[in-house]
Copies of this chain bind each other. A is one copy, B any other.
């Protein structure tokens, strides 16, 4: 039903089925992985009203499994690219895999797919840094970054009337920041 592809490596199309509705791919040497593609093979669609939440699972320093929600695949959006480099220092999130006895070797991570009701998926929030979906989200990301910057910089804005005299300090007109 699912395939998984680490950028640069061979595709995997045979996940381990660890429960009726749960599938797991092993990611050996995960510290050298940047992007992972998760996709439906196109053979079997999700049952009506269902979709898949996609998790990344890696062992923390003490060997405990940390799960992070990357995003979703559905019949309408049957593939997604995720960026997993940079997630390793993040906090774990709630996940439906329980204490499944997945082999935890220090260099092997997992991609877990849990088949769930679409309405349950809609209530889950993936880790933001995993999204590699579109120019739109990239543009949104940079726009958000710039908005943050403007808010940050504006909080320091002064008018000439408020300035303490210091003729050598350089100032940037606030409208220049806005125009950019």
Contact = CB atoms under 8 A, between A and B. Distances in A.
Contact of A158 (B132, B153, B170, B175): B170
Which among A11, A154, A169 has the greatest number of chain B C-beta atoms within 10 A? Answer: A11
Copies in the complex: 2
Interface in A30-88: 34-35, 37, 39-42, 77-81, 83, 85-86
A118 interface: no
Nearest to A161: B167
B135 A157 contact: no
Main secondary structure, interface of A, reads mixed
Contact of A180 (B134, B152, B163): B152
A172 B154 contact: yes
A89 interface: no
A168 interface: yes
Given A133-B34, A160-B163, A5 B171 contact: no
Interface of A: 3, 5-11, 34-35, 37, 39-42, 77-81, 83, 85-86, 132-136, 138, 142, 145, 149, 152-154, 156-161, 163, 165-177, 180
